[in-house]
Amino acid sequence: MSELFSLSGPSFPPRAGGAAEALVILLHGWGADGNDLIGLAPHWAGSLPHAEFLSPHGPFPCDMGFGRQWFSLADRSPERVLAGVRAVVPVLDDFITAALARRGLDERRLALVGFSQGTMMALHVALRRARAVAGVLGYSGRLVGGPALADELTTKPPVLLIHGTADEVLPIAAMREAKSVLAALGVPVEALERPGLGHGIDEVGLEAGRRFLAAKLGGVS
């Protein structure tokens, strides 16, 4: 499948100019596209002046007729969602590997950021790559394939999960379950619950994400 798709999307160059010394890849949610999350880059670029931000579009048109998706949600059963994630993992893995190679970087200089469906992809990929990424920042998502993770886990990157307690799309229980599973497997995971927040990112979550990325990529705190 990876041979059939080549991901692309908007980018934000290092604010300091010159070659990228770190890479942040942003993975959007269902029904959005890469233009949705690239807007986070200016908020974080001041703390990560040597980082480049990439926000690829998901490989498929969204089921609901606009935007993109990483995998279909026409059937939301756990088995079909897991199958959808696994089918698209090679596409995202290839994109990550090529993006690092073009910049002469390795996973130690890479952070993955996801929102909703993008968080599902970020967690799934990062926990199964050959080398650990610097960090995974996941907003309003969940862990797909948790029961199989003990047998498939290859790396344990630091993870920060941020989720609104009033999320109407993915309930806060999804984040709590993800934290519990990851912690039980020895993955260094932190979680931030945002009281009253729905399916979105607020200023507190944005700032927490900035601090996390700066700490993991050696930025300005």
Annotated catalytic sites, by residue?
A: 116, 167, 199
DSSP the chain: -TTT------EE--TT-SS-SEEEEEE--TTB-HHHHGGGHHHHHTT-TTEEEE-PPPSEE-TTSSSEESS--SS-SHHHHHHHHHHHHHHHHHHHHHHHHHHT--GGGEEEEEETHHHHHHHHHHTTSSS--SEEEEES---TTHHHHHHH------EEEEEETT-SSS-HHHHHHHHHHHHHTT--EEEEEETT--SS--HHHHHHHHHHHHHHHT---
Q: Length of the chain in residues, anyone?
A: 221
